[in-house]
Amino acid sequence: MPINPKTGKQREVTEEERVRVIERRGEGKTYRQIAGEVGLSKSEIARIWKGWKTESKLHAAHRSGRPQKLNIRDIRHLRQLVDKDPSASLSEITVRSGLNVTPWTAGRYLRKEGYWVRIARKKPYLDSRKMRKRYTWCLLRRKWGPKRWKTKVYTDECVVVMGTGGGPKKVRRPTRAHSPTDPRYLAPTYHSGRFSAPFWAAITYGSHTPLIQVRKRSPEERTSARDRLGMNTTQYTYEILESYLAPFVYSLPGVPEDHETIEDGLGVHISVLAKKFRGAYGIFRSDWPPSSPDLNPIENVWHMLKVRLRKRISSPEKRPRNVEELVEAAQEEWERLDWGAVDKMIENMGKRIQKVIKRRGGHTKF
């Protein structure tokens, strides 16, 4: 085979070169003469001419190439090991497989099968009881149209934390439709974490409240030795419901009864004091299935806000140096969000409901 002058490796003879060899040989030229003209060896020219005379063959014969290290059964075994433990490293998978290949080779075959290392999505833990409640809640609302979802008021709290450590969990999963939300490929989250700058807000179709910083209670307000000075029932009722939620609901078209609030089942949300306040103001709260942030579009708004904040603080000059600067930056970015996109999310609430029903109460991509 001829040598590629750029790489120094062998290369295939082109079809144009084969045609020139056959034409020159047909004109009666010798192998030496053709070799000097075309730039191929005499033995290569002899093979081309012999193939043309005996089989009228113009193209090179198909070559099988290097034998595959793994057969179909070996590859299936690798897939089964990954499906059983998506968090395992390539070295662990290779050892467990018992195959005589390197981790790099095992990874190459897995990538061909569509298994790539991905960061596990964080989703709340769901057991069978929670899934049944989610499924039932969505079944009761499966026929609601966009008009009904537009009247709801979606509220929630969010904590913006600066300086958290640790990296995201990585898993190896296939590129199937539902694999991102398969429990094996998720990083479950639980109600815990550090607090830095807590916020509250409410949204509805075409309107939203300002981003409200939740005040941290002083040590004098401590109610017990275990009180961590987070938002309690009294603070939520008088500093959030009375000061912000009620005025916001009353500012919307229609009567307050038309604008049912949707929020999670946090203790302060379902307390007796909060219920009495809502009853006095005629504000109704929807029942809520547990561990269902994917059913509240304000969770997507928090994500949009944090993305904008990450872009903003990537510049050292704009990075907040204290809580006050973080609050100011968050409130500025809140007003710059794409509220048209938020309205689209509310209009498409029916799709979220159908996805949960389809997954029998399981996780969705929202």
95 and 225 together in one domain: no
Which pLDDT value is given to residue 105? 93
Half-sphere exposure of residue 54, counting CA atoms within 13 Å on the CB side? 6
Which pLDDT value is given to residue 5? 61
Task: Kindly tell me the burial class for residue 272, based on how many C-beta atoms sit within 10 Å of its own C-beta (0-12, 13-18, 19 or more).
Answer: exposed
H helix intervals, the chain: 15-26, 31-38, 42-55, 72-84, 90-97, 103-112, 128-139, 146-150, 233-235, 246-251, 272-281, 298-313, 323-335, 339-347, 349-358
Distances (CA, A) of 190 to 7, 124, 126, 127, 350: 56, 6, 11, 13, 27
161 and 232 together in one domain: yes
78 and 144 together in one domain: no
145 and 42 together in one domain: no
266 and 334 together in one domain: yes
Identify whether 121 is part of a domain.
Answer: no
Identify whether 156 is part of a domain.
Answer: yes
* Tokens matching residue 210: 């300002």
Which pLDDT value is given to residue 153? 95
Cα gap 36→313, rounded to integer Å: 67
Which pLDDT value is given to residue 57? 74
Cα gap 178→119, rounded to integer Å: 15
196 and 318 together in one domain: yes
Identify whether 48 is part of a domain.
Answer: yes
Identify whether 365 is part of a domain.
Answer: no
SS3 state of residue 310: helix
SS3 state of residue 69: coil
Cα gap 63→10, rounded to integer Å: 14
Cα gap 236→182, rounded to integer Å: 36
Identify whether 42 is part of a domain.
Answer: yes
347 Cβ contact list (under 8 Å, min separation 6): 146, 149, 150, 205
Which pLDDT value is given to residue 195? 40
Identify whether 182 is part of a domain.
Answer: no
Identify whether 245 is part of a domain.
Answer: yes
Identify whether 279 is part of a domain.
Answer: yes
Q: How many structural domains does the chain have? A: 3
327 and 195 together in one domain: yes
Which pLDDT value is given to residue 13? 82
SS3 state of residue 259: coil
Cα gap 278→122, rounded to integer Å: 33
Q: What is the mean pLDDT of each run of 10 residues along the chain (366 residues)?
A: 64 84 88 87 87 78 77 94 93 93 93 90 90 95 93 93 64 76 72 66 95 90 85 92 93 87 91 92 91 93 93 77 88 95 94 94 90
Cα gap 323→196, rounded to integer Å: 7
Rg (CA), the chain: 33
Which pLDDT value is given to residue 192? 43
Range of the domain at 88: 72-113
Which pLDDT value is given to residue 244? 94
Predicted TM-score (pTM) of the model is 0.70
77 and 52 together in one domain: no
146 and 219 together in one domain: yes
103-112 helix and 72-84 helix, angle to the nearest 10 degrees = 90
**CATH number (domain holding residue 5):** 1.10.10.10
Cα gap 6→145, rounded to integer Å: 65
